[in-house]
Amino acid sequence: MRLGKAALLVSVYAGIGGTCFADEKAHEFYFQQNQQRFVNPAYDARMLSMSGSTGLTTANALSTSQNPAGLGLMRYGDLSTTYAYNEVSGNNFPSGTKVKDKQNIGQVFGATPINPTLDGLPESGNLGLGWFGRQGDWTYDRDNTDSGTYQVVGGYGKSIGHRTALGYGLTFQNDNVDSDTHNYESSQSFLHTLGVQNMIDDDTTWGSTVFVGHGYHDLDHLADARPSQSVSQLSVGWGGGIEHRMGSTSLAGGLDFTFMRNNGTNDPAVNDVVFGGDSLGRVMNVRIGIEEQLLDWMAIRAGYRYASNFDWDYDRAALSDLSGSAKYNAWTGGAGVSYDFEDEYFFHAVLLDYAAEYRDVGNGDWQHMISLSAPFDLCV
């Protein structure tokens, strides 16, 4: 009986290995899909329109997710809400047919001083809270795959002096990928972020973060009786950025690197599934951005990002054809308008920002994002 079962597993494994097909567009699609299974920070539209180059140097509500040290340099509070539509396209595995993941994204973030100080940095620092959600639907997919992710984010930042701040952020993520054949789900993923931000002078700011993510995904097989497996995850990374203002023009640059690892069961009977099992990947982004303040109430922005997504290795013979890289170029642009209120009002202003990103990956992917934010003052 045991010999018969072993022979069956070998034949299934050999059949899978013999029918695998993967090309460059399959690498690009699944590299991004696996990357999204880990905890990634949220952006607002201004950050995205400048390729994410200002994420670590900005001091607003989104600092809660990007660089919590930015909270420590906030003299006021901030509220922000964002909606985005994103596409991730490529080819399905192992069939090679086209596939597109259409994603709707929403988020709400807020940050406030613990004890407001008039015309100064709060002595007890600033707190930030946020929620992020993403819902994806795979089209042209015979297994009817869809995905859902949400995050709950908290952060604290404290100034040490007038120009430097330190911060810590914690992100909890719930993530799942559901299809007719498999369910890949995590309800215990976390990301810890330590950050520093420094204003070199009134026109130049730099920021840096180190982060560690960990969690588990459970893979269940719905179409057959193969055993379930638990996949532990680890991500470790670093990011740095600088932003400089020259009159009405702001220039920004950033660099970040992340190592991602899945550790699952090395069983040939269950390792033909793209999600689960052993795999590891490395992601590096080089970012540059520019903003021009055309008028007191309007700015335009542009950016470029080189995503060196290299060497996603599945470490499984059944998926050896799918191992590879997904390096690509991305171009971003956008604009923002603001309306300022008088000093006696609770809100200082209302800001509306739009961003678009085109990624030269898959079949050419777009993301559109719009953010509405309002800085406020508790000392009115």
pLDDT digits 0-9 by tens, 245-262: 999 999 999 999 999 999
Q: What is the pLDDT of residues 113-158, one digit of tens each?
A: 998 776 778 889 999 999 999 999 999 988 999 999 999 999 999 9
Contact 271, 316 (CB under 8 A): yes
Task: Identify the residue whose tokens are 């007191």.
Answer: 296
Cα distances from 63 to residues 48, 73, 164, 211, 271, in angstroms, run 14, 10, 14, 14, 39
* Calpha distance 104→83 (Å, rounded): 8
Among candidates 134, 185, 168, 129, which has minimal Cα distance to 152? 129
Structure confidence at residue 267 as a pLDDT band (50, 70, 90)? low
Task: Identify the residue whose tokens are 């006021």.
Answer: 76
* Calpha distance 84→253 (Å, rounded): 23
Q: What is the pLDDT of residues 296-350, one digit of tens each?
A: 999 999 999 999 999 899 988 889 899 999 999 999 999 999 999 988 788 999 9
User: How many Cβ atoms from other residues are within 10 Å of residue 246's Cβ?
Assistant: 9
Return the pLDDT at 226.
82
Contact 61, 78 (CB under 8 A): yes
Task: Identify the residue whose tokens are 């400048």.
Answer: 50
Return the pLDDT at 110.
98
Question: What are the φ/ψ torsions at residue 25 (nearest 5 degrees)?
Answer: -75, -25
Amino acid at 128: G
Return the pLDDT at 214.
98
Contact 117, 379 (CB under 8 A): yes
DSSP string, 201-270: ETTEEEEEEEEEEEEEEEEEESSS-PPPEEEEEEEEEEEEEEEEEETTEEEEEEEEEEEEEEE----TTT
Q: Residue 14 pLDDT more than 50?
A: no
Return the pLDDT at 3.
40
Tokens representing 306 are 């080189």
Q: Residue 8 pLDDT more than 50?
A: no
Tokens representing 285 are 């982004």
No. of H helices and E strands in the chain? Answer: 3, 14
Cα-to-chain-centroid distance, residue 324: 21
Radius of gyration of the chain from its Cα atoms, rounded to whole angstroms = 22
**Structural domains in the chain?**
2-376 (2.40.160.60)
